[in-house]
């Protein structure tokens, strides 16, 4: 399925967008792609930092939730990262690397969503974590 422009589904605006395209938003699973650019605010010494990887996973979750909300009522909700657990970084991506990020909703309770996220580049695991994301409703 070809999804509409991802900026329709997330509250973030440039230069703070860490997702390029929505690849999948099927039920609890969301997948995005992101190509690291030299102009990105999370680039340090030619590498995409840990904070960028965390934000990429959070924005992937936001894109999936935003897509489903757009189908229901058209509203895009703002949210924030409440906590992060078991955050592991195996490599810091370089400029021009393409990241594929998979997020799965583990549980939703009121306005809190618990997700697990995985970032890969060229099939290799780059980072993973569990995250609590709070959505304004």
- Every domain of the chain and the residues it spans: 6-135
Q: Is the pLDDT confidence value at 115 over 90?
A: yes
Find all residues with CB under 8 Å of 88, minimum gap 6, and list them.
127, 128, 129
Reported pTM: 0.94
Q: What is the pLDDT of residues 27-52, one digit of tens each?
A: 999 999 999 999 999 999 999 999 99
Find all residues with CB under 8 Å of 49, minimum gap 6, and list them.
42, 43, 92
pLDDT at 137: 63
Find all residues with CB under 8 Å of 62, minimum gap 6, and list them.
9, 10, 11, 12, 79, 133
Q: What is the pLDDT of residues 57-106, one digit of tens each?
A: 999 999 998 898 888 877 777 888 999 999 999 999 999 999 999 999 99
pLDDT at 70: 83
Tokens of 95: 């400029």
Cβ atoms 105, 114 nearer than 8 A: yes
Cα 49 → chain centroid: 14
Distance between CA atoms of 22 and 2, rounded to whole angstroms? Answer: 8
Q: Nearest 5°: CA angle at 85, between 82 and 91?
A: 115
pLDDT band at 1 (very low <50, low <70, confident <90, very high): low
Does the 6-135 domain belong in CATH 3.10.129.10? yes
Q: Is the pLDDT confidence value at 3 over 90?
A: no
Q: Is the pLDDT confidence value at 2 over 70?
A: no
């Amino acid at each position: 399925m070809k999804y509409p422009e991802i900026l329709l589904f997330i509250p973030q605006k440039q230069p703070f967008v860490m997702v390029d395209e929505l690849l999948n938003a099927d039920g609890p699973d969301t997948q995005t792609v992101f190509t690291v650019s030299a102009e990105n605010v999370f680039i340090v010494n030619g590498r995409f930092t840990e904070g960028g990887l965390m934000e990429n996973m959070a924005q992937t979750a936001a894109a999936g939730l935003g897509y489903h909300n757009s189908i229901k009522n058209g509203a895009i909700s703002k949210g924030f990262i409440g906590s992060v657990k078991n955050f592991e970084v195996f490599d810091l991506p370089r400029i021009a690397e393409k990241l594929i990020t998979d997020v799965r909703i583990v549980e939703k309770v009121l306005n809190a969503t618990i997700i697990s996220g995985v970032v890969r580049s060229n099939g290799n695991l780059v980072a993973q974590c569990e995250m609590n994301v709070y959505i304004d409703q």
